[in-house]
Amino acid sequence: MHGWSFSAEIWQQVHALLPDFEHHTLTYHNCTSAEDFVSLVQTRIAEVQPDVVVGWSLGATLALSCWKANPTFQVLVLSGSLKFTEVWPARVLQQMVRKLRHDPAKVIQDFWQHIGHEEVLQTRGLWPTEALIAGLQVLQDTDHSDLTHLHGHWLHGTHDPLMRPPEQLPFEVLDGGHLLMLTLPQNIAQVLRSMA
């Protein structure tokens, strides 16, 4: 599961390193509320019944929500947080929502630049504005601070400007930023092989 404003294409390098794995992705384009996001992920997990769910950033928040409700699978958390508003206050997210209504491409471009994503934004691939707003609502409202254990792995980049790793859970630090699947795909593939 990918992060806010991105697409499943972000996983291409990891998929290529694991050709013998069966990969399933999803898109959030039709989500118009925070509840839609959780329902979409829950439905997809029920359909696929995966051995491992990989969640990055917003996808990690959603993966943890589903795992807490039904811990029947392993979780690989990439660049996630237990409570996003501990790093980005709710007022910053609310400001992004206001700006999204006027110039979504600018908001996304600024966000991508902040996390070190160098690609030029293709406006034809933009999420609908309501989906972008609903995704920010998920990040604002979700609090997994009560999570005391995890059946899986947590990977965090040493230079991640966006997320804060959990103090109460074990996590592995990699020499990277927020975009670990792009900068360190071999490390992610290695961890997934160890989990399979």
Helix segments in the chain, DSSP class H: 12-17, 34-48, 58-69, 90-100, 104-115, 129-141, 180-183, 185-195
CATH, residue 190? 3.40.50.1820
Give domain status of residue 1, yes or no.
no
135 within some domain? yes
CB 127 within 8 Å of CB 3 = no
Residue 85 lies in a domain: yes
Q: What is the pLDDT of residue 169?
A: 93
Q: Considering the domain boundaries, does residue 96 fall inside one?
A: yes
Output the six-digit token pair for 19: 């050709």
- Spell out the residues 6+ positions from residue 177 whose beta carbon is closer than 8 angstroms to its own: 115, 116, 157, 159, 160, 161, 183
Answer whether residue 22 is part of any domain.
Answer: yes
Whether 118 maps to a domain, the answer reads yes
Q: What is the pLDDT of residue 119?
A: 76
Domain range for 63 is 8-195
Q: How many Å apart are CA 135 and CA 140, to the nearest integer?
A: 9
- Count: domains in the chain: 1
pLDDT attached to residue 196: 86
CB–CB of 142/68 below 8 Å?
A: no
Gap between the Cα atoms of 136 and 21, Å rounded: 31
Residue 124: per-residue pLDDT: 58
pLDDT string in tens for the chain (196-residue length): 999 999 999 999 999 999 999 999 999 999 999 999 999 999 999 999 999 999 999 999 999 999 999 899 999 999 999 999 998 999 999 999 999 999 999 999 999 999 998 776 665 568 999 999 999 999 999 999 999 999 999 999 999 999 988 989 999 999 999 999 999 999 999 999 999 8
